């Protein structure tokens, strides 16, 4: 039996697959199996893998008869694995030379369920280059050891959390196989990383983030849709998929809470809800043309509660109002643009609130907090007249906590 199983979910991207697999077969550490799960590709993915397997018996192919999505592909590979440890890698990424030797040596000295290591971001295009520094920061873990309930508590926290990609992590084999048996057999793509990370972190006993470990080569912009302009329909699809992940996690908690004892399930679901709606709304704001944004909100509201959507819109109001508040020249082009954007998004938030009885009916503390600090910045900047009953000084109390939440 191999010490390490490496699973590669693959679908219609055979162009980069040989490079990915070679980065594994050329490692100094040899005691591995490589399981490629072809999710019913219509290109030559299977034949490429079969050709590579003829020259290296450690490579194994699993073929889905029907396209089932990334979650299902990863689950098939994990459950078919035999390794004492398990790792996932995406088909267009790679591992740095000697990564496995370093990783396995660390694991032998530090028993854990989850090993989180760092990345090297390789930008595939100019747009990816602009995002590379931020992505490197997001994907590079803070060195630490977490135990028990603290793992999930930190995972999706608004500060001091860690990224929820299931790649650039190695797992104890039996632990990973058990966690994936708990995963739904429902088709899930895009949000499957976050969904599965919640399950893994809720069942783990020990998590270790390894210092100085840039061993995963992440090809930003190579196989994804970074910065691709959305349509109202594709924006709706993102909202639907993110909402589906939250629904599946609520189901998971309902089924497993009697076995996994913790008193903070509601708070942890609120954390993951905030991260999911943040993703939906950031895509809506950043990649949907502005002329389509307001009308697309109705599509998003089919899947998300109004206060969760409003919370994210108030986040934009907060940021633009704060930028205007702190501008040295309020007549500069940037300041005027910030002013206009703050008012545009405020109008959207108020429109949703008016039609849904908000904020009075909401118990969503994330939304209420973002709303309060947004209005504080609006009043302090003069973008809105402060009501006579509105106390001064709230900005000083709240800015530190929420201005860059």
* Residue with the two structure tokens 């590079």: 140
Check: CB of residue 332 under 8 Å from CB of residue 339. no
Q: Domain check: are 47 and 185 in the same one?
A: yes
Cβ–Cβ < 8 Å for 387, 306: no
Question: In residues, how long is the chain?
Answer: 405
| Rounded-to-integer distance, Cα 401 and Cα 374, Å | 13
Q: Is the dihedral of CA 392, 397, 399, 402 positive or negative?
A: negative
Residues 347, 271 share a domain = no
* CA nearest neighbour of 78 among 172, 14, 168, 12: 172
293, part of any domain: no
Three-class secondary structure of residue 195 per DSSP: helix
The predicted-structure confidence for 79-94, as pLDDT tens digits, reads as follows 999 999 999 999 999 9
- Do 66 and 170 fall within a single domain? yes
pLDDT computed for residue 405 by the predictor: 52
142: pLDDT strictly greater than 70: yes
Q: Same domain, yes or no, for 133 and 19?
A: yes
- pLDDT bracket for residue 221 (50, 70, 90): confident
pTM of the model: 0.92
Enumerate the β-bridge partners of residue 60: 35
Indicate whether 332 belongs to any domain. Answer: yes
**61 with 199, same domain?**
yes
> Poorest-confidence range of 124-128, 200-204, 251-255, 280-284?
124-128
Tell me whether residue 297 is in a domain. Answer: no
Are 109 and 143 part of one and the same domain?
yes
Residue 225 lies in a domain: no
Report the number of distinct structural domains present in the chain: 3
Residue 180 pLDDT exceeds 90: yes
Mean pLDDT of 275-287: 97
pLDDT at 224: 57
- Within-domain flag for 227: no
Residue 296 falls within a domain, yes or no? no
- For residue 186, the domain's CATH number is 3.90.550.10
**Residue 156 carries which DSSP code?**
T
- Cis peptide preceding 145, ω within 30 of 0: no
Q: Do 53 and 187 fall into the same domain?
A: yes
* pLDDT tens-digit map of 144-160: 999 999 999 999 998 89
Coil, helix or strand for 241?
A: helix
Question: Is the domain of 126 the same as that of 55?
Answer: yes
Q: Does 366 reside within a domain? A: yes
- Residue 165 phi/psi, 5-degree rounding, is -65, 140
Q: Is 225 within 8 Å of 307 (Cβ atoms)?
A: no
User: What is the predicted pLDDT for the residue at 397?
Assistant: 47
Domain enclosing residue 346, as ranges: 305-405
Please tell me the predicted confidence (pLDDT) of residue 127: 84
- Taking residues 34-53, what's their average pLDDT? 98
Same domain, 208 and 333: no
User: Do both 388 and 264 map to the same domain?
Assistant: no
By three-state DSSP, how is residue 51 classified? Answer: helix
> What would the DSSP string read from start to end of 102-135?
HHHHHHHHS--SEEEEEEEEEESSHHHHHHHHHH
Task: Tell me the H-state helices in 13-88.
Answer: 17-25, 45-55, 70-79
What is the tens place of the pLDDT at every residue in 223-266?
Answer: 655 557 899 999 999 999 999 999 999 999 999 999 999 999 99
Same domain, 124 and 211: yes
Domain for residue 398, yes or no? yes
Q: Is the pLDDT of residue 51 over 90?
A: yes
Average of per-residue pLDDT values in the chain: 94
One domain for residues 30 and 76: yes
Q: Quick check: 30 and 3 in contact, CB under 8 A?
A: no
């Amino acid at each position: 039996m191999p010490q390490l199983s490496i699973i590669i979910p693959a679908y219609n991207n055979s162009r980069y697959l040989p490079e990915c697999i070679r980065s594994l077969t050329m490692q100094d550490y040899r005691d591995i199996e490589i399981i490629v799960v072809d999710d019913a590709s219509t290109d030559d993915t299977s034949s490429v893998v079969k050709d590579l397997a003829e020259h290296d018996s450690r490579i194994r192919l699993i073929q889905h008869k029907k396209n089932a999505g990334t979650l299902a592909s990863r689950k098939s590979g994990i459950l078919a694995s035999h390794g004492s440890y398990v790792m996932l890698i995406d088909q267009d990424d790679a591992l740095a030379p000697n990564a496995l030797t370093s990783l396995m040596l660390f694991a032998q000295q530090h028993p854990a369920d989850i090993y989180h290591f760092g990345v090297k971001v390789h930008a595939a295009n100019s747009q990816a280059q602009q995002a590379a520094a931020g992505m490197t920061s997001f994907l590079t873990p803070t060195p630490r050891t977490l135990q028990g309930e603290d793992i999930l508590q930190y995972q999706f926290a608004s500060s001091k959390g860690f990224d929820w990609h299931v790649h650039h992590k190695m797992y104890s084999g039996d632990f990973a196989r058990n966690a994936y048996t708990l995963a739904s057999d429902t088709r899930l793509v895009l949000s499957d990383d976050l969904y599965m990370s919640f399950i893994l972190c809720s069942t783990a006993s020990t998590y270790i983030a390894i210092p100085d470990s840039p061993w995963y080569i992440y090809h930003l912009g190579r196989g994804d849709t970074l910065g691709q302009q959305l349509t109202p329909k594709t924006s709706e699809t993102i909202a639907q998929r993110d909402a589906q992940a939250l629904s599946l996690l609520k189901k998971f908690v309902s089924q497993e809470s009697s076995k996994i004892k913790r008193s903070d399930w509601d708070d942890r679901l609120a954390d993951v809800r905030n991260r999911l709606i943040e993703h939906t709304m950031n895509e809506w704001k950043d990649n949907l043309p502005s002329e389509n944004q307001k009308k697309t909100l109705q599509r998003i509201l089919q899947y998300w509660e109004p206060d969760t959507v409003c919370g994210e819109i108030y986040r934009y109001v907060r940021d633009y109002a704060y930028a205007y508040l702190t501008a040295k020249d309020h007549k500069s082009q940037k300041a005027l643009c910030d002013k206009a954007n703050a008012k545009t998004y405020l109008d959207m938030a108020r429109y949703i609130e008016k039609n849904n009885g908000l904020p009075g009916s909401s118990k969503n503390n994330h939304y209420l907090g973002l709303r309060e600090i947004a209005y504080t910045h609006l009043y302090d900047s003069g973008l809105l007249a402060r009501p006579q009953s509105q106390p001064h000084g709230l900005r000083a109390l709240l800015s530190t906590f929420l201005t860059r939440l």
